[in-house]
Amino acid sequence: FIFVYHILSLFEGGLGQLGVGLAQMLREQYGKENVILSDIKRPPADVFNMGPFVYADVLDYKNLRELVVNNRITWLVHYSALLSAVGEANVTLARTINITGLHNVLDLALENCLRLFVPSTIGAFGPSSPRDPAPDLCIQRPRTIYGVSKVHGELMGEYLHHKYGLDFRCLRYPGVISATTKPGGGTTDYAVQIFHDALGSGHHECYLRPQTRLPMMHISDCHRATIEFMQADECQLSLRTYNIAAISFTPEEVAAEIRKHVPQLTVTYKPDPVRQNIADSWPMRFDDSNARRDWGWKPAYGLPELVTDMLDRVQNKRTNAGLPVS
């Protein structure tokens, strides 16, 4: 593949739920030295030993520029953000990281002709958006600072693409489910915690009502979608921001699927007003037909496959950590 020897990607916000796994997948394709992971947190030993890691604060433009120039970076993956629930608890910080940080990244990408990937989210929709399904183009009036900053990102990126030719690429991710990395304070986090609880205490207390349906995706589908989209030829893209979908489920549906393997799992529901309110304003399903048509997006994991895989991985993790498995 033509890019293999030139790609040097920089990830900021790379130590969160999604960054490490994506870097790993990209390194398998492009070589470990060609992908630089960065964050403002100290990396765990295994991540540090996995490949190049540097400190980079998305708010420090000069430092970002130095990294891009000195390393001849060609792709930039912008993962640093404050997620929905955390953002509502700290609106000023969310505004700074999610909006000022994004402006830095857009300027940097434009200045250095980078291919820029910025993820968006189901949170970029709001109560006046069509919810079942939400198409790519529709009313977007989110009511969280997280959603507002993501819509701002989508619009700024598209504007700079149309005005100056910036190679901006954005996918609206559903809630992402992973076993090895912890979620970062979003509204869909319960769908990860329930697996740990199923194999730990055998009991999960859910902060959403049982019938709250949200779009979700296995982390490996999310990484594969991101790489396939980044690799797609520009002429394949009729949009710069696409929905990607895999599964939509409710807490009671995922619990029922887990019970096929862990029959003793009990779930109680204690809705948290902040997160329930956010979830009620988000789409129940995504329409991703444009992504499927334009660049061939197709998820691999349905609900049964996701549950089997998550239980296997969480069980291995608990066993390796010397924890009991119920």
Active site amino acids: 146
| Nearest approach, Cβ of residue 182 and ligand NAD (Å) | 7
138 contacts ligand NAD (rule: CB under 6 A): no
Are 83 and 185 contacting, i.e. CB atoms less than 8 angstroms apart?
yes
| Nearest approach, Cβ of residue 11 and ligand NAD (Å) | 10
Q: Which of 161, 53, 158, 121 is nearest to 281 (CA)?
A: 121
Q: Convert residues 255-294 into a mask of x (bound to ligand NAD by CB under 6 A) and - (unbound).
A: ----------------------------------------
173 contacts ligand NAD (rule: CB under 6 A): yes
215 contacts ligand NAD (rule: CB under 6 A): no
103 contacts ligand NAD (rule: CB under 6 A): no
Pairing of strands 167-173, 53-55: unpaired
15 contacts ligand NAD (rule: CB under 6 A): yes
**Preceding amide of 133 cis, omega within 30:** yes
φ, ψ at 48 (rounded to 5°)? -60, -40
Q: Which of the ranges 7-15, 135-143, 264-272, 277-285 carries the binding residues for ligand NAD, by CB under 6 A?
A: 7-15
119 contacts ligand NAD (rule: CB under 6 A): yes
Burial class (CB in 10 A: 0-12, 13-18, 19+), 237: middle
145 contacts ligand NAD (rule: CB under 6 A): no
Q: How many CB atoms lie within 10 A of CB 5?
A: 10
121 contacts ligand NAD (rule: CB under 6 A): yes
Q: Which of 325, 16, 29 is nearest to 178 (CA)?
A: 16
Q: Which of 244, 231, 220, 238 is nearest to 292 (CA)?
A: 244
φ, ψ at 218 (rounded to 5°)? -65, 145
| Nearest approach, Cβ of residue 187 and ligand NAD (Å) | 9
Q: Which of 68, 94, 176, 199 binds ligand NAD (CB under 6 A)?
A: 176
Residues lying near ligand NAD in the complex (CB under 6 A) are found at 12-13, 15-19, 39-41, 57-59, 79-81, 83, 97, 101, 119, 121, 173, 175-176, 183-184, 186, 188
